[in-house]
Chains A and B, each alone.
Chain A
């Protein structure tokens, strides 16, 4: 590399930096929009032009988690004074929180959010686990028709999934899997598995098989060698695959909309369903969406080191 950069190189470098900044701003704009709307007072959410500076408040989140009804008349001042701070925010909006006895009734959002979490986590663990084993088999053993089998596995991704939504729905209804967690999990595992196998196969091929052979000679069974040597080496690949599978399952909308309606409904079809009656409450929807973004962001953030690190670091000399 030249020690001194020419003027044109410096110019190109600056153009590149500016371009990346602009692209980043464009990509972050919708996220900013959601995040800012989630903390806006209701009446500022729909102003034209948009309000940029405002006093942020958490009222949309209170509304998000509670069941409420519109009040016909003003609240009794004594009741208002006795209410906790968050309930006052609801009264301020001309609504009251539904209660059974003294217990506040929660909205469906926490349930739907938990459904999303259950379905996404379990389907990710299964898809990545099965994918890792399958990829190991394809990578290490001679398998008759290996190329055909791998192509077949990939071919399950060649159809837009929505095309099979109706037949799947009918089949699920017959076997009683519709509106169940297990039904969605099976669907997402099936959907992610081909991706997981192919991605993990790439990572497995990168792990020199001498590692396992050394472990075999050192007195371990192949299974032990797999868990003690291959898995730690494949951690980077597993992390990357898990992130992609989790995001796919977490964000999936079409199947969740068709296959679930109450018990197992996940957050993606639930959030827009709240637009339904009367004037849409954009701030509450934005609050729901904002919270929905967090798990993926946290998950990816936690795995960032694995995503960035190389697969092996020079303990094999070729």
Chain B
């Protein structure tokens, strides 16, 4: 049972504030991913929880107890580093046993615990080797083993698979998930890779320039991004964002993208849901799968010209020219054969997001 709570954390590096009033409550057994670009403060937050970085303001509570003044050693937390940080002069066995030796555990028990962890991670045959003889994936397993062996209150992972190649990364991602489900421990995981975040997290914390942008389940942050930053950071291919003007028509609302001459048809309910923002500076966000296209004209569909087609295997991404703006649409592979084709497009209103351009905040319009 481990709950972690961060209350009003502030952190400065010299004159630069890297974390602004950060508040976050993490439930027992939860898998939390801190997601953001490099320099957003996610690693600093993690290191502060670990005790490797001091904070200038606020409280870090583990099971209700403030720990910000405790040394790393006294917080009973384990951490996996991006660089793995396996001690080169020790064998794999010694590496995994190292945290146990700090607790003055008997050697028989150390041996038992190390072998148990090695079995779970399937690295028993590597125990006698030195880290330099291991592959990247095995190094990572050992690093995780070293973190798991002590049965710590919480696991912290700082981009643990960032240094691996793409295929191995996918494999290890699944393995980390499997371990979490099996072992179950409160985990905080830092990454800049939104796919990693989506696939692993119970909840994602998106950070930008030291501020939390949104906290939510993968589905929440994907389907209901709180602001333009989250909208464009989460999801691949990236969400289309364009200036938009909304005008009321007889039976529908027309959303004009950029400098286009005609608008996309939306239900009239949009106007009331925009809650007075209709006349203001708006941004429309629509993911490529929310841009629907067909070959023949139909009600509510607008004629557009295709530009670049990017085949991605299971689907294609097609650039559509709307005014001077490009909208990226997701289509079946080979649906559009190339640039210059004329197709008909509309925007799925249920997948559209409206943002206030000035603040970047979502207007929470759900149609």
User: Using a CB–CB distance below 8 Å, which chain A residues touch chain B?
Assistant: 208, 210-211, 213-221, 224, 228-229, 232-233, 312-318
Bound-state CA distance A221–B74 (Å) is 9
Closest B residue to A318 by CB, please name it: B83
A211 → chain B closest CB, angstroms: 6
Bound-state CA distance A136–B78 (Å) is 25
Q: Which of B78-122 contact A (CB under 8 A)?
A: 78-79, 81-89, 98-99, 102-103
Residues of chain A contacted by B146 (CB below 8 angstroms): 214, 218
Closest 6 A/B residue pairs (Cβ) = A219-B102, A315-B131, A218-B99, A315-B88, A210-B85, A214-B85
Given A208-B83, A315-B85, 11 extra CB contacts under 8 A: A213-B79, A216-B52, A217-B52, A217-B78, A221-B71, A224-B102, A232-B89, A233-B88, A313-B88, A315-B84, A318-B83
Bound-state CA distance A22–B50 (Å) is 59
Interface of B is mostly: loop
**Does A217 contact B79, Cβ atoms closer than 8 Å?**
yes
**Does B163 contact A219, Cβ atoms closer than 8 Å?**
no
B183 an interface residue at 8 Å Cβ cutoff?
no
Bound-state CA distance A219–B105 (Å) is 13
**Does A312 contact B83, Cβ atoms closer than 8 Å?**
no
Mask, B134-161, CB within 8 Å of A = 1, is 0010010000001000100000100000
**Does A219 contact B73, Cβ atoms closer than 8 Å?**
yes
Closest B residue to A317 by CB, please name it: B163
5 contacts between A and B (CB under 8 A): A214-B85, A216-B51, A313-B88, A315-B85, A316-B85
A220 partner, pick from B51, B73, B76, B163, beta carbons under 8 A: B73
B83 partner, pick from A219, A221, A232, A317, beta carbons under 8 A: A317
**Does A217 contact B50, Cβ atoms closer than 8 Å?**
yes
B98 partner, pick from A213, A218, A314, A316, beta carbons under 8 A: A218
**Does B71 contact A216, Cβ atoms closer than 8 Å?**
yes
**Does A313 contact B132, Cβ atoms closer than 8 Å?**
yes
State how many residues of chain B have any CB contact under 8 Å with chain A.
Answer: 32
Contact of A218 with B50 at beta-carbon distance under 8 Å, contacts A315-B88, A316-B83, A316-B85 already known:
no
**Does A220 contact B102, Cβ atoms closer than 8 Å?**
yes
Bound-state CA distance A208–B102 (Å) is 21
B77 an interface residue at 8 Å Cβ cutoff?
yes
B158 → chain A closest CB, angstroms: 9
Bound-state CA distance A208–B86 (Å) is 11
Residues of chain B contacted by A220 (CB below 8 angstroms): 73, 102
B69 → chain A closest CB, angstroms: 15
Bound-state CA distance A136–B298 (Å) is 73
B72 an interface residue at 8 Å Cβ cutoff?
yes
**Does A316 contact B102, Cβ atoms closer than 8 Å?**
no
**Does A315 contact B79, Cβ atoms closer than 8 Å?**
no
Residues of chain A contacted by B79 (CB below 8 angstroms): 213-214, 217
Contact of A214 with B81 at beta-carbon distance under 8 Å, contacts A220-B73, A229-B87 already known:
yes
Closest B residue to A220 by CB, please name it: B102
Residues of chain A contacted by B156 (CB below 8 angstroms): 217
Residues of chain B contacted by A208 (CB below 8 angstroms): 83, 85
Closest A residue to B149 by CB, please name it: A218
Bound-state CA distance A220–B132 (Å) is 24
B77 partner, pick from A217, A229, A312, A314, beta carbons under 8 A: A217
Contact of A210 with B81 at beta-carbon distance under 8 Å, contacts A218-B99, A315-B131 already known:
yes
Bound-state CA distance A229–B146 (Å) is 15
Contact of A219 with B51 at beta-carbon distance under 8 Å, contacts A315-B86, A316-B83 already known:
no
Closest B residue to A312 by CB, please name it: B88
B29 → chain A closest CB, angstroms: 20
**Does A314 contact B132, Cβ atoms closer than 8 Å?**
yes
**Does A317 contact B136, Cβ atoms closer than 8 Å?**
yes
Residues of chain B contacted by A228 (CB below 8 angstroms): 98
Most buried by A among B51, B83, B163: B83
Closest B residue to A314 by CB, please name it: B132
